[in-house]
Structure 1
Amino acid sequence: MLNYVLVLSCLTLSLCLCDQTPHIVFVLADDLGWNDLGFHNPAMITPTLDKFAKEGVIFNNSYVQPMCTPSRSAFMTGYYPFHTGLQHKVIDYWQPNYLQANYTILPQYLKKRGYATHIVGKWHLGFCNWKYVPTRRGFDTFYGYYQGCEGHFNRTIENGYDFRDNDTVAYLKGEYSTKLFADRAIQIIENHDPSIPLFLYLPFQNVHFPIEVPKQYENMYSNIHDNMRRVYSGMVSAMDEAFGNITAALERKGLTNNLLLGFTSDNGGPIGLGANNLPLRGGKTTIWEGGTRGISFAHSKTLIKKTGYTHNGLMHAIDWFSTFLEVAGLPQPAGIDGISQWKMWRDGAPSERLEVVHNIDNIANNSAIRDKQYKLILGNPGPGPWDPLPKLEDTEEDFEKPDPLPDTLLYDLIEDPGEHNNLVDELPDVVNRLKARLDYYKSTAIPARFPPNTPAGDPNNFGGVWGPGWC
């Protein structure tokens, strides 16, 4: 009789979990290199991120855009940036640019399903008009900054202060931003009603320039003599600690029994600022693998059935949008580029994605596409060194300087993930096939929207604060 009651209780609990709308926590690391977490590079001290990655599903071929704004627009809309006009560089400090208001973004969809929606961290999708800020785009609360970067301690960039608690300027100089963000995320979790589905978007400031961290984290890497790499590594470990404190709060609140947690970088690491993308080529701003392959994983105690492995299926930033919608029980909007990868995440099924477009940039005049095996690059992909991990000695090594590149490059990413061997001459049929696919996507692309900077946005016009009201 006792066994029967236990089985019935477990079955009832299982049915309840299935009927409940899952909580979703989406963590975004800024400028994190492929080789900058411990499960790729044991020299990095990231025990909590490593634990969650190894207990979940690590995505080995998860692609993002080369820079911040394009990736964030893809996560939020499910559209390739060349379909929203945000494919070129990032929204600059003084630039009247934004993710246009006619795009319904992820939290707005989730609100329809009853989610409480919160963003803690970096926005970088436009703020020159109030209608473009997070609290007008489906987020119940916003705690963070509008711009692409700022001081981690003084929250200032280009002589303007940038930090908001919802729409109100919050003067919080002195505390390290990662600590502030973790504390606010924990506060949101502790005050949340578990019967309401939670969407918590955590776009951390770390490990973006400026390279700054409290000394105790830098000291964790005292064996590294290269100052930039040592501080950058400390920033990664500070983020890991914050991640650990936030996930501990989720556990204490009892939310992890029905939680999907996703983690990804927004682009490759900037190799001149302490990041490392080995064995991948290039880094942030480039369409090499080091600029566009994101280090990422998903984790869930109850929702993911196959765990503890690395999945090699193709995925793109736009697919996070679609996957989260399916997990929330929402239909896919017509016309988007994203594909739900929930079967891949949950069951280990093959990816639904057959190809990834790295970018189509009409201003930079470059583009790239990958199918399951091959990657075609047209135009200049950007600087392409294979960055060495900084050594313990106080010496500098020159990057490998390859010969000038041809306009067409083809790589077999299964055999050559570091993009060393150009196969254009050996595989003309593959080149023509992928060119045809790129031509198709180019026929659907819209020109990059990249207006000139304007003094109208000068923070001196707004009491020394970056804010809306100038476009």
Structure 2
Amino acid sequence: MAVVLHLLTFTSILLMYVSSARPPHIVLIVADDLGWNDVGWRNPQMYTPNLDKLATAGVILNSSYVQPLCTPTRNCLMTGYYPYHTGLQHSVIVPDAAGFLPANFTTLPQKLKELGYVTHIVGKWHLGFCNWKYTPTYRGFDSFMGYYNAAEDYYTHYVGPGYDFRFNTDVYRPTEGEYSANIFANRAIDILNSVDPENESLFLYLPFQTVHEPLEVPEKYENIYSHIHNTSRRLYCGMVSALDEAVGNITAVLRERGFMDNLLLVFTTDNGGPTFAGANNLPLRGAKSTLWEGGTKGSAFVYSDTLLKKTKYLNTEMMHAVDWFPTLLHVAGGTADAGMDGMDMWPTISNNAPSPRKEFVYNIDEILHNAAIRVGDYKLIEGNPGHWNGWYPLPSVKEGLPNATADGAAESKNCMVNISADPNYQLFDIRNDPTEHFDISKKYPKVLQQMTQRLAEYKKSLVPANYPPPDPKSNPKYYNGTWSPGWC
């Protein structure tokens, strides 16, 4: 009898070891157009209790960089390569043009499937759909619920003249009048209820529509900010709180079903906030679509009950969106291909080790004739960094977008700045001047020369931007009123 009990005990210990050795679940949540100052852990005026709880109990990533726009950042997450190496460095993929993430790049879910993961995406794709081979279920995902494009209505799911909502490859029509953040949260919960957390490893990619334009949100979330009389800001803040509640509902199920025992949750925005559409990036300069820190420094954190060696701190080590690919692959037990732009940041994130990254490329856009790089503490901007060049205060009680002129320069006295007319180069010391007030290019000509030479080296590997003109074959009228693959 003692021998039997001993064997049972040994078997139980072995099963526990096998369970703990299983690759961890990974949940990657991407907010769309979330500003630096639009989260509660930085701005107490924001009501984001669920995000705040996760961020402060985990690791807040205070130097996590992204691309200035949606498509390029999603490219980084899915491939580990800078957009200027995939042809997606200019603007975003628009519905009626044949832009896409090239099929020769292996995506993160494809690599994770090789390691035995089940993979699901819920939300925004924005990496091409003109041919089926560019769509999510052909790029490594077991299932897809969401939309191909951007800037669609949160309730009707129309983008311009076409309907854009899918379940896998089929056109899908959710309950009429249901808000997209709730649709996506409910789908995520359905996935969690279908996966066995002890015997399967899950990769759940949740690129929410929120808080991208159009500014739409159920009244109950808008009412949280009834004290804000500026309509755009009030709606935008309500959208952030709707996102927060959706994340809270999902994480509650993660905990109820036991996923949290072996899970890494990553939260990031895809670019800085559009100050021209209700967002705020204070104290950073600029906005979405610009090369300024306000367009490229993203709100982000990681959370885990079990995987992080150090928690509840602010990580200030440099990292970039391309780093998530090799980092998450490492967590899953895999290894990224040699030559990838991304670097494995797991020791940095999990234990606050020094970052292996000492430099990165903000972007190189040969169509706009602008670029920016970071080397150590120095940031070089070539050409015009973008349209929104100022520091934008939170909206006042008045309507409209106060304190900003048409060209983006701040009007209020504490935000005045002299902006050169498309200077050739600007140089900033980001460590000592994180808000980019002082161009030091004339003060440090040798540093400027070294930085321009480094930029020239990066440019040698540039792949021409794939930004084709509109194609009339894309018209939804040929596909029963929907944006559909089949025209490239």
Is the TM value for this pair above 0.5?
A: yes
Residue equivalent to 2:159: 157
Q: Which amino acid aligns with 1:390?
A: P
Q: Which amino acid aligns with 1:49?
A: L
Alpha-carbon distance change, 59 to 12 in structure 1, aligned in 2, over 3 angstroms: farther
Residue equivalent to 1:418: 435
Aligned residues of 1:150 and 1:157 also touching (Cα < 8 A) = yes
Residue equivalent to 2:301: 297
Report the Cα offset of residue 347 of structure 1.
1.0
Q: Which amino acid aligns with 1:429?
A: K
Report the Cα offset of residue 431 of structure 1.
1.1
Report the Cα offset of residue 181 of structure 1.
0.1
Residue equivalent to 2:136: 134
Match of residue 237, structure 2, among 233, 241, 259: 233
The answer on 1:402 being equivalent to 2:407 is: no
Deviation sequence 1:186-238 (CA, Å, 0-9, x none): 01001111211000000000000101000000000011010000000000000
Aligned residues of 1:60 and 1:295 also touching (Cα < 8 A) = yes
Q: Which amino acid aligns with 1:174?
A: G
Residue equivalent to 1:312: 316
The answer on 1:188 being equivalent to 2:188 is: no
Match of residue 99, structure 1, among 96, 101, 118: 101
* Superposition TM-score, scaled by structure 2 size: 0.93
Aligned residues of 1:17 and 1:258 also touching (Cα < 8 A) = no
Report the Cα offset of residue 16 of structure 1.
4.7
Report the Cα offset of residue 447 of structure 1.
1.2
Match of residue 166, structure 1, among 160, 165, 168: 168
Deviation sequence 1:30-86 (CA, Å, 0-9, x none): 000010000111100000101101111111111111100000001000000000000
Q: Which amino acid aligns with 2:137?
A: T
Report the Cα offset of residue 319 of structure 1.
0.2
Residue equivalent to 2:372: 368
Deviation sequence 1:223-273 (CA, Å, 0-9, x none): 101000000000000000000000001001101010000000000111100
> Where does the alignment leave 5 or more consecutive residues of structure 1 unmatched?
1-7
SS of residue paired to 2:325: helix
Aligned residues of 2:392 and 2:403 also touching (Cα < 8 A) = no
Residue equivalent to 2:278: 274
Q: How does 1:374-453 map to 2 (within 5 A)?
A: 374-383=378-387, 384-394=389-399, 396-398=402-404, 399-400=409-410, 402-405=418-421, 406-453=423-470
SS of residue paired to 1:444: coil
Report the Cα offset of residue 446 of structure 1.
1.1
* Superposition TM-score, scaled by structure 1 size: 0.96
> What is the alpha-carbon distance in structure 2 between the residues aligned to residue 236 and residue 53 of structure 1?
15
Aligned residues of 2:231 and 2:399 also touching (Cα < 8 A) = no
Q: Which amino acid aligns with 1:224?
A: I
Farther-moved stretch of structure 1 (16-25 vs 276-285): 16-25
Match of residue 27, structure 1, among 26, 29, 33: 29
Number of paired residues?
A: 464
SS of residue paired to 2:460: helix
Q: Which amino acid aligns with 1:462?
A: Y
Residue equivalent to 1:217: 221
Q: Which amino acid aligns with 1:177?
A: S
Residue equivalent to 2:85: 83
Report the Cα offset of residue 392 of structure 1.
2.8
Aligned residues of 1:30 and 1:68 also touching (Cα < 8 A) = yes
Match of residue 177, structure 1, among 180, 185, 191: 180
Alpha-carbon distance change, 105 to 428 in structure 1, aligned in 2, over 3 angstroms: same
Report the Cα offset of residue 403 of structure 1.
3.1
> What is the alpha-carbon distance in structure 1 between the residues aligned to residue 444 and residue 69 of structure 2?
30
Aligned residues of 2:150 and 2:159 also touching (Cα < 8 A) = no
Alpha-carbon distance change, 259 to 9 in structure 1, aligned in 2, over 3 angstroms: farther
> What is the alpha-carbon distance in structure 2 between the residues aligned to residue 155 and residue 379 of structure 1?
37
Farther-moved stretch of structure 1 (403-412 vs 40-49): 403-412
SS of residue paired to 1:277: coil
SS of residue paired to 1:456: helix
The answer on 1:464 being equivalent to 2:464 is: no
Alpha-carbon distance change, 366 to 16 in structure 1, aligned in 2, over 3 angstroms: same
Report the Cα offset of residue 11 of structure 1.
8.8
Match of residue 255, structure 2, among 217, 236, 251: 251
Q: Which amino acid aligns with 2:403?
A: E
Q: Which amino acid aligns with 1:146?
A: Y
> What is the alpha-carbon distance in structure 2 between the residues aligned to residue 43 and residue 319 of structure 1?
31
Report the Cα offset of residue 436 of structure 1.
1.6
> What is the alpha-carbon distance in structure 1 between the residues aligned to residue 253 and residue 189 of structure 2?
6
Match of residue 198, structure 1, among 202, 227, 232: 202
